[in-house]
Amino acid sequence: MTILDGKKISNDIKNEITEEVNKIKERGEKVPHLAAVIVGNGGASLTYVGSKVRACERVGFKSTMVRMSNTTSEVELLDKIEELNNNDEIDGFIVQLPLPPQIDTQKVLMAVDPNKDVDGFHPMNFGKMALDMSTFIPATPFGILELLDRYQVETDGKHTVIIGRSHIVGRPMSILMGRKGFPGNSTVTLTHSHTKNITQITSQADIIISALGVPKFLKAEMVKDDVVIIDVGITRVPDETKEKGYYITGDVDFENVSKKASYITPVPGGVGPMTIAMLLKNTLLARERNSL
């Protein structure tokens, strides 16, 4: 069994990006600049944005964190997005989700300039991805592709089962694994909460990508020998014995499933760090495109 070490690979990617930034600096050009908008400070959002900003610093990007209160109106947020769209200093930006209930998330994502949409959530970029055109691939699916690529995990002709159909992970992943090329050329089954007999489906899978957010959902008896496991889930489970008052777990019963797997991502240290590295990669791409 091989661990798909997202921590290591994401560090490699960050080092590669740092080299690119050094070349940009040597040419006396402007370094990439990522902005992150965060509305309110609920849940893990602030932690996630904090790690994204720190990652920018590490590779030599400029970063700006835009903090807005929990009571921000939709109009105020849309005005801020317009400002970022028009700010030539900023190459790309993200709006951290989830947003408070008074704000229509889809409307906000539609307002982001597709050329600065480094999360790849704008319908234009999502459409381009579905049509195999060059675009910003959402960071988590992009990170999974990169892990499969760097470990040369065979995907051609394999049966890939995806659990969860969210717009940010499951749905794009189903498109990417089924497209022509590597990683890809898989036969894909996309499952969700209405799927019947999910064990029957997962037990036929060569590759399982789990993104549902239910701790230890995927058990050893649900998978076949030599399966490849990508665990996207991140759930905070309350635990008073931990300093932070919780521990992080994935969707997969790692201890038992890993005994049957050929490759598996750990949680933490698998897909999570890859997501941040690929956001940086998209920002570098945005800078290259926008400076043409």
Whole-number Cα distances in Å, 85 to 27, 96, 138: 26, 16, 19
- CB-wise, 24 or 147, nearer to ligand NAP? 147
CB 198, min distance to ligand NAP, A: 6
CB 75, min distance to ligand NAP, A: 26
- CB-wise, 24 or 276, nearer to ligand NAP? 276
CA-wise closest residue to 143 among 254, 285, 272: 272
CB 22, min distance to ligand NAP, A: 27
253 is catalytic: no
Residues 52, 80, 116, 281: which is the catalytic one? 52
52 is catalytic: yes
Q: Rounded to the nearest 10 degrees, how much is the dihedral formed by the CA atoms of 270, 92, 58, 233?
A: -20
- CB-wise, 111 or 208, nearer to ligand NAP? 208
- Burial code of 124-136, b = ≥16 C-beta within 10 A, e = fewer? bbbebbeeeeebb
132 is catalytic: no
- CB-wise, 123 or 181, nearer to ligand NAP? 123
CB 235, min distance to ligand NAP, A: 5
* Sign (positive or negative) of CA dihedral 173, 112, 66, 70: negative
CB 26, min distance to ligand NAP, A: 32
Six-digit token string for 4: 């798909």
- CB-wise, 24 or 190, nearer to ligand NAP? 190
Residues 14, 96, 251, 253: which is the catalytic one? 96
CA-wise closest residue to 150 among 290, 292, 16, 289: 16
Residues near ligand NAP (CB under 6 A) are 140, 163-166, 168-170, 191-195, 198, 211-214, 232-235, 271-272, 275
Taking CB positions, which residue lies at the least distance from ligand NAP?
213
CB 109, min distance to ligand NAP, A: 14
Residues 173, 209: contact at Cβ < 8 Å? yes
> DSSP letter at 152?
T
135 backbone dihedrals φ, ψ, rounded to 5°:
-165, -175
Residues 119, 231, 251, 253: which is the catalytic one? 119
User: Where do runs of H (alpha helix) occur along the chain?
Assistant: 6-26, 45-59, 74-86, 105-111, 123-130, 139-150, 170-178, 198-202, 254-257, 271-290
CA distance 83 to 30: 20
- Burial code of 46-57, b = ≥16 C-beta within 10 A, e = fewer? eebbebbbebbe
- CB-wise, 24 or 93, nearer to ligand NAP? 93
Return the active site residues: 52, 96, 119
